[in-house]
Amino acid sequence: MDLSLYDTVARKKTPFVPLRPGHAGIYTCGPTVYRYAHIGNLRTYLLTDLLVRALRFEGIAAFAVQNITDMGHMHEEVLDRAEDKVIAAARAAGKTGREIAEFFTEAFFRDCRRMNFLPADVYPRASAHVPEMVAIARELERKGAAYREGDYLYFDVTRAERYGELSGAQLGEGEAAGRTDVSIHRHKRRPEDFTLWLPAEPGREFRWDSPWGQGWPGWHVECAAMAVKYLGDEFDIHVGGIDLRFPHHENSRAMARTATGGRFAALWMHAAHLLVDGRKMSKSMKNEYTLDDLADRGVDPMDFRYYCLTLHYRTPMNFTWEGQAAASRAFTRLKKAFDGAEAGEGTDPEAAADFRRRFRESVEDDLNLPRAVGVVHEAAHAGLPGGTLRELAVEWDAVLGLGIVPAARTEKGETRDEGAGAAAPVPPAVAELVARREAARSARDFTEADALRARIRKAGYEVVDVRGGPPRVKKSR
C-alpha cells in the first residue's frame, strides 16, 4: 500500500502522488499573532507536523511553508470599525501592532518547539509580502476578475471557475450569503465577492501604497500570495482547520487559480476542531487553554501530543481533563515499556516485521495515528528483544515525535554518562532532549537535531554520537 490522504475537494481518500517525484510542497495557514495559541490551534498545526513526518517516512522530502499573519485579519464582530486583530490587541495593551506581533510570533515558535513540531522551511510574514499581494490583485484586475468600488477592490467570484468546489458553497445561497461581510461592503455586487484591497482609516499602523490608494490587503489574498510565491502556481497539499474551508480557503483558491491559471493546491486537508468539555473554546467560557494552562495542571506538551495522537485528525476531539489524565497515564506506560529497550541486547527482525507492516499501513491510511499508536503499544509489550524494540522506537518516533526513544540509558535504567560527570545522572529533561534529537536525526532533520544539541549544551551536557548505537551523554567540562 502507499500513502493515501483524504482530499476535501474529492471528498474521499486518494492515493498521494507528488507533483514532483520524491518531493511535496505543503502550505499551512498559520497563526494570527495577536494572542497565545490555544490547544485547538496546536492540534491543527500538529496535522502538518504529522503529515511532514509521514511523508519523510515514505521517502518523500517535504518542503513546508507556514505563514505568520502579523497584520491581522478582521474580527467578524468589529467589521464596522474595519479593525484588525493585531491592531485591536495592540491598542488594548498600549503597544504597537508590530510589538504585539513580534511577541506572539516568538510565543508561537516556542509552542511549536514544545510540541516537538519539525520547523517549517519558511515562515513568511504577511506584512513582508504586501507587494506580492498587490501583484495578484493587479493581475485579477487586468483579467477583469476584480472591480473597484470606492476605495475598495473586490474579487468577482463569478469569474472563478468552479467556485464552491472545495466547500460546497453555492453562490447566492445559505451559508455563503449569510456569513459574508455585507455590513461595511455595501458596494459589493454580490455577497460572496470579497475584498482584495481595503482603504486605511486615518492613523492606521499597517498601511501600504497601492494602485488603489493607501490601504491594506484582504486576508484571503495573503495566503494565496505567499503560497504561490514559495510553492508555485501548483503545489501538493494545503492544510488548515475545518473552519477555514469557507470562506478563507474557497476564496484563496478561487483567487489564486484565477490569477495564475494554475491549479493551486492539488489536495486539501482539513483538521477537525478541538472542543473542551463538549463546548467551543471561548474567552468568556475561560476554556481557551494554552500549553501553559496545561503545564499548570502538570500536563507536559508531549502528554498533550500523545492525547491528540489517540484521535484521528478528521474526528473532532473533545478535550477533557479526565481524558488527558488517561492519555498521560497510557503515555507513561508506553515510555516505561520502551525504557527496557537496549541496543546490543539482540534483535529479532522477523518478530518485528508484522508490527512494522501494521504501523506503516496505519500511517499510510490517511494518517491513522490512533491505530499506529495501538501497534506501538502492542509491540512494546510483545516481549521483543531489546535491540529490536529500540530500533522500532527510533523508526516510529520519527513519525510520532513523542520522544519514546530510550536514549542514553544504562542497563540499570540509569542514564549513561561518562567523564567529568560520571557520577551524576543526566536529568530527565536532558535525556528527553537527547531522545528528541535522536528522533530528528533519524528523520534526517539535521537543523532540528542541531538546535536540540545546542539546547542540550545550554543545559550543560554534550552528546557524542556513536556509530550503530545510542549516543553517549556527558557533562560539559
Is-contact 195 185, C-beta < 8 A?
Answer: yes
Nearer to ligand AMP, 105 or 210 (CB): 105
Q: Which helix (H) or strand (E) holds 418?
A: none
Nearer to ligand AMP, 29 or 405 (CB): 29
Burial of 19 by CB count in 10 Å (0-12 exposed, 13-18 middle, 19+ buried)? middle
Among 134, 244, 372, 380, binds ligand AMP (CB under 6 A): 244
Q: What are 289's three cell numbers?
A: 487553554
Q: Rg of the chain's alpha carbons, rounded to an integer?
A: 24
Helices (H), 287-403: 291-296, 301-309, 321-339, 349-364, 369-380, 386-400
Q: How far is the CB of 145 from ligand AMP (least distance, A)?
A: 26
Contacted entry of ligand AMP, Zn ion, none for residue 223, CB cut-off 5 to 8 Å set by kind: Zn ion
Among 24, 26, 29, 120, binds Zn ion (CB under 5 A): 29
Q: How far apart are CA 153 and CA 75, in angstroms?
A: 19
48 binds, among Zn ion, ligand AMP, none (CB under 5 to 8 A by kind): none
Contacts (CB under 6 A) with ligand AMP, residues 43-62: 43-44
Q: Does position 223 bind Zn ion by CB under 5 A? A: yes
Which CB sits closer to ligand AMP, 218 or 241?
Answer: 241
Burial class of 329 by CB neighbour count within 10 A (0 to 12, 13 to 18, 19+): exposed
Per-residue x/- track, 282-321, ligand AMP (CB under 6 A): ----------------------------------------
Contact pattern from residue 343 through residue 362 relative to ligand AMP, giving x for each residue in contact according to CB under 6 A and a dash for the rest: --------------------
What cell numbers appear for 446 in the block?
Answer: 539535521
**216-224, 238-246, 306-314, 413-421 -> range binding ligand AMP (CB under 6 A):** 238-246
Interface residue with ligand AMP among 8, 32, 127, 328 (CB under 6 A) is: 32
Would you state the torsion angle of the CA atoms of residues 309, 312, 314, 316, taken in this order, to the nearest 10 degrees? -70
Residues in contact with ligand AMP, total (CB under 6 A)? Answer: 15
Cβ within 8 Å of residue 92, ≥6 positions away: none
Residue 311 grid coordinates = 484521535
In residues, how long is the chain? 477
Candidate ranges 146-154, 218-226, 255-263, 273-281; the one touching ligand AMP (CB under 6 A): 273-281
First-to-final CA distance of the chain: 50
Q: Which helix (H) or strand (E) holds 147?
A: strand 146-149
41 binds, among Zn ion, ligand AMP, none (CB under 5 to 8 A by kind): ligand AMP
Binding region for ligand AMP (CB under 6 A) = 29, 31-32, 40-41, 43-44, 240-241, 243-244, 271, 273-274, 281
Binding region for Zn ion (CB under 5 A) = 29, 223
